[in-house]
Amino acid sequence: MHRSRGKLADGREIIYFDTAFADRGSADLRPLEPTAARSEVRRDPATGDWVTVAAHRQDRTYHPPADECPLCPSRDGRLSEIPADDYQVAVFQNRFPSLAPDAAAAHVPVGDGELRTDHPGTGRCEVVCFTADHDASFADLDEPRARLVLDAWTDRTAELSALPGVRQVYCFENRGAEIGVTLAHPHGQIYAFPFTTPRTRRALAAAEEHRARNGRNLFEDLLDAERAAGERVVLAGEHWTAFVPFAARWPYEVHLYPDRRVPDLTALTEPERAEFPRLYLELLRRFDRLFDGGPTPYVSAWHQAPLGRGAEFALHLELFTVRRTAGKLKYLAGVEAGMDAFVNDVAPEQAARRLREAGA
């Protein structure tokens, strides 16, 4: 992997990842003013969860036409967020970040104690462009390009984890207008959080309780149980296993675990990295074969251990779609949105069977 760095016109960083050396030294010629991220995090005293407030994001780019896509390369006199005229994988700081390194400069505290606690939204948000092809998707990548994306995720996890105040690094992709995606170009994002996210915090608490009761690791036991049962396993390689969880929340939801428990992407071995692209691409293609009527919308989320909390956690990827059948979406209604109590319309065993059949 070859990595090269540059600066955008407003001072944000851009990083190109290539399988071999490539000259990506084009300058950003846009007349951009430096941006100020007015981000803060506020603690909910009833749950302990941190909520990010980023009012400046109301002005972010929203469904531009294809010929004005900010994630395409800069070509034919049209300048975009990518100054180079071509790229393989490009990562840059988000122009409209939820969290930013300079958030403290614009922060005006409004909290006044235990019930109202707020801090600057210090962190970093990056955009990961998987390909220069506007009309492609991650599933269209070949295995070497998917491996390059994995290497970029790993590189950014290592570097962002070293930033002051960062507690957890989250790599993810939202795909499809049904998910709420506002830019059609194939891309994902990376958030470097100044706190441990609520879902991870609950998972760690469950792992600690499991250890106290049984003396074993929760995630290792979970993976062993699914591999032994087999009925919810969708794909299995030499180093990775993909399965529908026993208590899946979404109609079609798959968790992809390395068989060897590691805390984050940086701890994967070369054989584990080499096998990942084949299995992941196959999962994405099976999702696209589930329904008639176009590509399947999905969220793909890497769950990594917070800094200093890797002893009980297990790296894994969670992939799910909001589509429950052809032409019908799973909306978060009163019980899900109001109480975080999910009701699934598809039995996990049925979902696993359909995903296995989609590989035929």
- Cα 276 from Cα 240, distance rounded (Å): 7
Tokens for 174? 């939202």
**Residue 149 has what DSSP assignment?**
H
Question: 359 in helix, strand or coil?
Answer: coil
Question: In angstroms, rounded to a whole number, what is the distance separating the alpha carbons of residues 141 and 304?
Answer: 24
Q: Which amino acid is at 230?
A: G
Which one of the listed residues 187, 255, 303, 316 is annotated catalytic?
Answer: 187
Tokens 């995630």 locate to: 219
Q: How far is CA 246 from the centre of its chain?
A: 22
Q: How far apart are CA 352 and CA 253, in angstroms?
A: 9
Q: Which amino acid is at 292?
A: D
Rg (CA), the chain: 21
CA distance linking residue 215 with residue 213, whole number of Å: 6
Measured in residues, the chain has a length of: 360
CA atoms 249, 254, 258, 263: torsion sign: negative
Rounded CA separation 344/147 (Å): 33
Which positions ≥6 away from 303 have C-beta within 8 Å?
199, 200, 203, 315, 316, 317, 318
Tell the residue number behind the tokens 């007349």, with chain if given.
31
Alpha helices in the chain (DSSP H): 103-106, 143-161, 198-214, 218-229, 270-288, 334-339, 348-357
Collapsing DSSP to helix, strand or coil, 133 comes out as: coil
Asked about 63 being catalytic, the answer comes back as: no
Tokens of 121: 């939204």
SS3 assignment, position 152: helix
- Residue positions annotated with a catalytic role: 187
